[in-house]
Amino acid sequence: MAEISNGFASAANKSRSDKSNASEKLAHLPLFLKHQQPEFEKIFEAVDAMPLDDTHCHLVTDRDAITTPKRFLERISLAGYAFPAYFPDGVYEQWLNSDEGAKQALNRKYDIQSKVDAMTYDLSQSIFIKFLTKEMAQFFNCEPRLEAVIEARNARGRENYWGYVNDLFRDVNLENIIHDTGYMEGVGKAEIDAFEKGIEPCRAHRIARIEAIQEELFGLDITFEEFEARYTTRLLDIMDGDGNFGKKSVGMKSYLLPDIGLIRPLYDRTLAANSWEDLRRSHSVRAKMDREASANVTKDLCRYTFTLTLEECLKRDLPMQIHTGDGEAPYVILRNQDPFFLEEVVRFDKDNMMRMPKIIPLHAGYPSVGKAAWLSHLYPNCYFELSIMTPFVHQSLYERYKQVLEAVPISKVLYASDNYHLPELFWISGRWGKRYLSQALADYVIGGSLTFDEATEAASMILHKNNRALYKLDP
């Protein structure tokens, strides 16, 4: 098989069914990982062919079907995500959609182009991007330069973007995804349906965000009793009916942690009602408050809706995903995202009894991976989810997976990508997830802690079995 200059075996046109010769089986590996340890190669061959379930991710739309290298960097990076926040409200979007003349005028006023160029340059200088470029070059069988990769990607986008997305899904063998409908960038049911259709035969399941229900109701001039009744009706429609854009929710998600830090469940309706009245009184000034003061206004109200929602999850034995760790600065308060701040909701004490609902702290608690792992080690009802760390830690995932597995039982580890904006995150997470999990498991086999069969069983649990059991999906 021809080797091309990016350090990979060329495999752009391989088919999954044709895996007859040895080099074909290792086509998803860079050269430095080939022919190193027979244990690793054997495990990798088995793992690479396994089905994959993504337990936390977000939809892809066709708005990124055609892109530029700069825009691609911005859309794929957690730091790039935030560009609009560095200019007055709405200005960055206006700049993006302007003609040359209007762009120049905005540049003179806000210095947008040079700021964006400087930020994008730094994004391009991450090892994550340099490595991703090589992986994509191997997929497209093109030169390993970002410009060449984007050109090849745009060609697929022009021809049939959903066909391209589907190829990415099949390349890593994605069979189930659970996507969070709380991050939509202004789109709705039609775009969700197009996405779910585009990735078939991968099965798409949805979870809904507490904050999305609150957003529908927080601006209304109604009494607390009316708010509570409407919140509950919406929640039950989402969990039992088709209230999540026409489908049922297989669990719920909360984004409360970055706003308030330590989440203590709240059962006291009086405190929640006071918080509702504070919110009604502050409508006109809330936009001008700083982010901590603003979060403080709704703190008790949000603790209350969180508690109501977790009760409903508990009744149905469905999990709640909770945003933990991760970035999304400058929108969120980074110091609040400590995984240990979830201990009270993991316990969910009431009347001196720990009720222990199923809790999934998200994003591996990254960068506090050890704390998230330890919480999951100690509390039987607390799971461990691998996204953000996968794929952004790239090659070092090998060590990180071992850090997780030293503390968390295999039966509680869930693979996820947290894909947003671009479908390449689904793909590179799957590719690296399988590769570096194989590498970590090979260490256990070589060291004698796991047999080969135990290692491949561990991989199938982490990559899909645990997810299916937890959400009661078809095995």
Q: At what angle do helices 146-172 and 189-198 cross, to 10 degrees?
A: 80
Residue owning tokens 């391009």: 124
**Residue 3, SS3?**
strand
Span between the terminal Cα atoms of the chain, in Å? 37
Give how far Cα 108 sits from Cα of 95, 103, 105, 317, 337, Å.
12, 9, 5, 56, 38
Q: How far is the CB of 428 from Zn ion (least distance, A)?
A: 16
By CB under 5 A, how many residues form the interface with Zn ion?
1
For residue 361, the minimal CB distance to Zn ion (Å) is: 12
- Closest residue to Zn ion: CB criterion: 418
The 402-431 contact track toward Zn ion, x by CB under 5 A, reads ----------------x-------------
Pick out residues in 301-360 that bind Zn ion (CB under 5 A): none
Q: Which is nearer to Zn ion, 214 or 387 (CB)?
A: 387
In the complex, least distance from residue 255 CB atom to Zn ion, rounded to whole angstroms? 9
Min separation Cβ 37 and Zn ion, Å: 34
Residue 366 or 444 with smaller CB distance to Zn ion: 366
Closest to Zn ion by CB, 321 or 439: 321
- Rounded to a whole number of angstroms, the minimum distance from the CB of residue 180 to Zn ion is 6
- Angle at which helices 127-140 and 146-172 cross, to 10°: 70
- Strand 52-57, strand 384-385: pairing: unpaired
- Taking the least distance from each CB to Zn ion, the nearer of 64 and 418 is 418
Question: How far apart are alpha carbons 454 and 440 in whole angstroms?
Answer: 13
Q: What are phi and psi of 133, to 5 degrees?
A: -60, -45
Q: Which is nearer to Zn ion, 324 or 466 (CB)?
A: 324
CA angle 400, 402, 405 (to 5 degrees): 115
Within 119-158, the residues that bind Zn ion by CB under 5 A are none
| Pairing verdict, β 353-354 and 349-350 | antiparallel
Toward Zn ion, which CB reaches closer, 362 or 461? 362
CB of 174 to Zn ion, least distance (A): 16
* Least distance from Zn ion to the Cβ atom of residue 189, Å: 20
Q: Which is nearer to Zn ion, 48 or 418 (CB)?
A: 418
Structure tokens at 191: 């775009």
Residue 5 tokens read as 């200059």
Residue 437 CB-half CA count within 13 A: 32
User: Can you give the binding site for Zn ion, defined by CB under 5 A?
Assistant: 418
